[in-house]
């Protein structure tokens, strides 16, 4: 199984700042099948990006996914108050999916 390692574990930022979240795969993902989800307490996770740079329906332009091989990134260009949450990367498209351990984006 592919292991996804996310860093940092916690990111302390202020509204308006740029957030850069990393997801590293244990082996090269030739088809770049990495997605990102946002998860807030008491809610179901929400799909943000996939493929790795396509946005899901209704996702604001400030969210962007990128990367290839083993290194993938979710960037939030300017943090809004509603963006403080936990973010997970996912490897999809093989018979076995995996999630990374998550990055918490908290208010500084």
Partner 1 sequence: EVQLVQSGAEVKKPGGTVKISCKVSGYRFTDYYMHWVRQAPGEGLVWLGLLDPEEGETFFAEKFQGRITMTADTSADTAYMELSSLTSEDTAFYYCATSSLLLPSFDLLDFWGQGTLVTVSS
Which residue ranges make up the site for partner 1 (CB under 8 A)? 1, 33, 35, 37, 39, 44-45, 47, 50-51, 56-57, 86, 88, 90, 92-93, 95-102
- Judged by beta carbon, residue 78 or residue 94, the one nearer partner 1 is 94
Pairing relation of β-strands 103-107 and 10-13?
parallel
Name 45's Cβ contacts closer than 8 Å, sequence gap at least 6: 37, 38, 39, 88
Cα 92 to chain centroid, rounded:
13
The answer to whether residues 23 and 4 touch, using CB atoms and an 8 Å cutoff, is yes
Give me 11's structure tokens.
């990111």
- Shortest Å, Cβ 93 to partner 1: 5
- Shortest Å, Cβ 27 to partner 1: 15
- Judged by beta carbon, residue 13 or residue 59, the one nearer partner 1 is 59
- Shortest Å, Cβ 16 to partner 1: 27
The H helix count followed by the E strand count for the chain is 0, 10
- Shortest Å, Cβ 67 to partner 1: 16
- Judged by beta carbon, residue 19 or residue 49, the one nearer partner 1 is 49
């Amino acid at each position: 199984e592919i292991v996804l390692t996310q860093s940092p574990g916690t990111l302390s930022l202020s509204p308006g700042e740029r957030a850069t979240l990393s997801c590293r795969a244990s082996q090269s993902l030739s088809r770049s099948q990495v997605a990102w989800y946002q998860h807030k307490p008491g809610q179901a996770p929400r799909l943000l990006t996939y493929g790795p740079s396509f946005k899901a329906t209704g996702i604001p332009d400030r969210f962007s996914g990128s990367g290839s091989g083993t290194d993938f990134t979710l960037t939030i260009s300017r943090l809004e108050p509603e963006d403080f949450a936990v973010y997970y990367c996912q490897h999809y498209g093989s018979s076995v999916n995996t999630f990374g351990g998550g990055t918490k984006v908290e208010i500084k």
